[in-house]
Amino acid sequence: MFLIFINDLLNSSNKFNFRIFADDTNIFYSSKNSADLEQTINDQLINVLKYCCANDLSINFNKTNFMLIASPRRKASINITACDITQKSHIRYLTIFVDKHLKWYAQIQHVNSCLSTNFRILEQLHYYLLLNTLRQLYYSFIYSFISYGLVSWGNASQTRLQSVKFKMNKCIKPIFLPYI
């Protein structure tokens, strides 16, 4: 029964684009006019909230937030009055961090953090494992973080990507160190 309610959630608004993944629902709407954006979001959110109430679906407002994506040169803000939702400067969408100016600061920081942690694992294991095993661990622990979502965040400026390139190269060293 739950799937019927979730799948029909899309019909609660004719203006929003819904993306549902497991138990997470993301709502997207775009407009070039901030007044239209604010008015439409408030009106359509009321429809979504009515649908959820009518079908006994709960919304965890502690985990609910919104983000405006706009040019850094443009000061954009809206006031959502339909419900109490906090505005964030970056959000996590399917384990990719998206920031409000699409500069990918948070995503690059996340990847660097994961690479640093996994580098230490490879560094400790390279004394005990064969090259093939180390290579498999590299693809599991390092390459997966770099390649996931790369189409999006890989377009960040080269200056920001330098730290990822540096850490990636550092992670490759322990694999080949015993063979040099």
Question: CA-CA distance, 32 to 161, in Å (whole number)?
Answer: 30
Query: Is there a single domain that holds both residue 69 and residue 113?
Result: no
Contact 119, 170 (CB under 8 A): yes
Backbone angles phi, psi at 77, to 5 degrees: -155, 150
* Residue 99 lies inside a defined structural domain of this protein: no
Q: Assess whether pLDDT exceeds 50 at residue 1.
A: no
- pLDDT tens sequence across 92-133: 988 899 999 999 999 999 999 999 999 988 888 888 888 899
Query: Is there a single domain that holds both residue 68 and residue 128?
Result: no
* Residue 28 lies inside a defined structural domain of this protein: yes
Q: Assess whether pLDDT exceeds 70 at residue 139.
A: yes
Last residue of a domain, one of 63, 88, 113: 88
* Residue 98 lies inside a defined structural domain of this protein: no
Contact 174, 119 (CB under 8 A): yes
Query: Is there a single domain that holds both residue 73 and residue 112?
Result: no
* Residue 49 lies inside a defined structural domain of this protein: yes
| pTM flag (> 0.85) | no
Last residue of a domain, one of 88, 123, 154: 88
User: How many domains in the chain?
Assistant: 2
Helices marked H in the chain: 2-8, 34-54, 105-125, 131-138, 144-147, 150-153, 158-176
Mean pLDDT on 7-33: 87
Last residue of a domain, one of 88, 118, 143: 88
* Residue 174 lies inside a defined structural domain of this protein: yes
Query: Is there a single domain that holds both residue 133 and residue 65?
Result: no
94: left (phi over 0), alpha (psi -120 to 50) or beta: left
Helices (H) and strands (E) in the chain, counts: 7, 6
Question: To 10 degrees, what angle do helices 105-125 and 131-138 make?
Answer: 160
* Residue 94 lies inside a defined structural domain of this protein: no
Token couple for 157 = 């400026």
Domain that holds residue 131: 105-179
Query: Is there a single domain that holds both residue 50 and residue 118?
Result: no
Query: Is there a single domain that holds both residue 16 and residue 82?
Result: yes
Average pLDDT along the chain: 86
Query: Is there a single domain that holds both residue 14 and residue 71?
Result: yes
pLDDT of residue 136: 92
* Residue 27 lies inside a defined structural domain of this protein: yes
- pLDDT tens sequence across 50-63: 998 888 888 888 88
Which residues on neighbouring strands pair with residue 24, listed in sequence order?
A: 21
- pLDDT tens sequence across 141-164: 889 888 998 888 888 888 888 999
Mean pLDDT on 38-67: 89
Confidence category of residue 28, pLDDT binned at 50, 70, 90:
very high
Report the percent of the chain where pLDDT is more than 90: 31
Query: Is there a single domain that holds both residue 119 and residue 71?
Result: no
Query: Is there a single domain that holds both residue 8 and residue 72?
Result: yes
* Residue 93 lies inside a defined structural domain of this protein: no
